[in-house]
Structure 1
Amino acid sequence: MTRSRIFLIAPLLVFLAGAYLVPFLGVMRWSVTLPQPGFGQYAVALSDPLVLGVIWRTVRICAMVTVISVVLAYAITLVWVRGAPVTRMVIELCILIPFWISVLTRAFGWLALLSNRGLINTLAQDLGLWAEPLTLVRNEFGVIVGMVHFLVPFAVFPLASAMRSVDERVLLAARGMGASRARIFWQVFVPMTKGGIFGATLLVFVFSIGFFVTPAILGGGRSVMVAELIWLRIFQSPDWGLGAAISVILMAGIGILLGLTMKYAKGSGK
């Protein structure tokens, strides 16, 4: 890399170091100094059934959210990329409008829809679909719904990039050889977009790991995830050392996951 290029990216590197690296180093220092020096907080975090349960719940919810979000985003993107002009315009508006609404507003919107006296339960009871209101919030179902709603638009863009790069001549050749539409889709089109699927899956999963507002509102304290647990340990307990240790463990886990997935992606691309 030439000196001119280093000079151009130097402000970005300084900003990233000041905005992310320095605070993270401070959190690491808290994890080994509070309330007393040592690695005792890591031992507590890795042995406490409450912390381990929250970590497992977070991984489970994030995995379900990732699968649902990517599947929904794939269907939406397919219509967006290959649909009629009017359909593409409508889908594009549906993808872009959620970015104009804050995550807090979306969470309270779902709370109004899914609560016991919300629109869905009230309408369903009026129509006689069920007698008693269903518990759709303050549980994992509500958390998953809110997170999927937020993350689907993020999964659309890597999928759209992959779908737009598909060579139409390959699809026409498969059609000319007598393959059905379903076979072309599953055996030709989907494998050719696996890079977008991989990118969308990684993006959604990493984003979902750090969710705080949506699980806190729609989970109602009954489906606590890692980010909320860290907040509780630092601002409610307070137990800064344990909260910092959980944060470092979370960052290390994400780093290992990213490293393994990137290594797999490079290996499969050869």
Structure 2
Amino acid sequence: ESRKNVFSTRTMINNWVEERAARDAVIKQYVELKQRGEVKAAVEEQELKNTTQKLQITNGKEYVNNLDKVLCVVHQSEKPLAITADVRFQNFDFRQGKLVSLSEDISTEARHVFKIVRCQHFQSSKMGKKVEQKLDLLDNSELKQGDKFYLMADPAMTKTEEMMVLGCPKLTNAPFNPIVLAPLSILGPDAEFVVENFQQAFRLQEQNTPVKYNLPLVLRHVISGQCIGCGKQLQQIPVEVTTNEYRIFCQSILDIHKVEGQENCFTFICE
């Protein structure tokens, strides 16, 4: 005679509570992953839109002014290339920064547009030992050769309250400094640049003279003294964009006379 609530080794028990809990956990995980994927896709779509939107840049001027929005072009021997910053990609060498490259696309997309912001230094103590930086955000007078300035990415692309600028942070055991887009609070003096005439013979006499659009220049990094350019040869970067992108270098390519070559030839361009 069988007895109730008595189980033997042959008794089969349905673990329906555990199975239901496991099934619910799988469904919940799937829903969460799907939602995260949708959110990530939406974020990436918005970042692409911010990066490729067309911006209004400075138009029809002869001289470069502080606070102008410009295109920065390197005129290496094969083809002109625009300096490009893309907030969607992390920099290869400096994890706190975003990717900066040279692009065959020379347009007014946000990733190509930079605002010139002159920087000033002043002594913040009576002893004159502490030097601080000050942004010149009000005076839109002409930029002069030798003036220190930042190249700021447009907030329409970066979507951050921090000022995102180009810079060349010093890395240990690196042959040259990488070019990155990062907050000014991180880069500090590593974000300062000056421009000089491309022809070395005219640099001294044109010091402190106004900078012209489309004038051949060198873009020199203040701390390292190196000029921005494409390096000795073009190195393509595998990024998900429709145009060819190349690596950018903070490195002066000198000829036999110790003068910067075509690889470092640079101009400011407006519409």
TM-score interval, normalised by the smaller of the two chains: under 0.3
Asked which structure has the greater CA Rg, the reply is 2
Higher helix share: 1
TM-score (norm 2): 0.22
Structure with higher RCO (Cα < 8 A, 6+ apart): 1
